Amino acid sequence: MNWIRTIWVRVKAGKIERLESAELEDGTQVLVTLIPPDDSEFWQRASQVSLNDVWDNTEDDIYAELLKK
């Protein structure tokens, strides 16, 4: 597996349990992101970071100038 993929898991009885199908070979490295029980705040913050990256950039200034013409 040479690509990054995100899957949903949960902790049950101290062990990570997959919530969706995924073939994981022995030795596969994984990165775990902890999401609080009320995950709405997590998603709001994650979305805000993405929105800031999209809207706060100088490349869009070019399009704004073209729209004025």
Rounded Cα–Cα distance for residues 45 and 69 (Å): 36
**pLDDT value at residue 1:** 52
What is the full DSSP assignment across the chain? --S-----EEEETTEEEESS-----TT---------SSTHHHHHHHHHHHHHHHHS-THHHHHHHHHH-
* Boundaries of every domain in the chain: 9-68
pLDDT band for position 51 (50/70/90)?
confident
pLDDT band for position 14 (50/70/90)?
very high
If you average pLDDT over residues 23-44, what whole number do you get? 79
| 18: pLDDT strictly greater than 70 | yes
Encoded tokens for 24: 């994981």
Higher pLDDT residue, 60 or 65? 65
